[in-house]
Amino acid sequence: MSYWNIAQVLVSIFVILIILVQVRESGSGMFGSAQNTVRTRRGLEKTMFQITIGLIVIFLVVSVLSVRFA
């Protein structure tokens, strides 16, 4: 296994964990609630959302580099 593959597995585990924590904290289930309420993300929820986006971007970059240098 190359370093790129190990990095890809680690980043994917972090993405899975942070998504699971967000679903658990929201309390509305994985597919949302029946109400169509609009709410803004604030505080820790906003930070975790931004971290999720960052981790997904890192995952995509590592995936492309893994294919490029394979």
Burial 40-66 (b: 16+ CB within 10 A, else e): eeeeeeeebeeebeebeeebeebbeeb
What is the mean predicted confidence (pLDDT) over 41-46?
84
pLDDT at 59 over 80: yes
The residue with tokens 């803004």 is: 40
Rg (CA), the chain: 15
The residue with tokens 């609630």 is: 33
Which residues does 21 contact at the CB level (< 8 Å), separation at least 6? 48
Residue pLDDT, tens place only, 30-39: 555 555 556 6
**Pick the residue with more confidence: 36 or 40?**
40
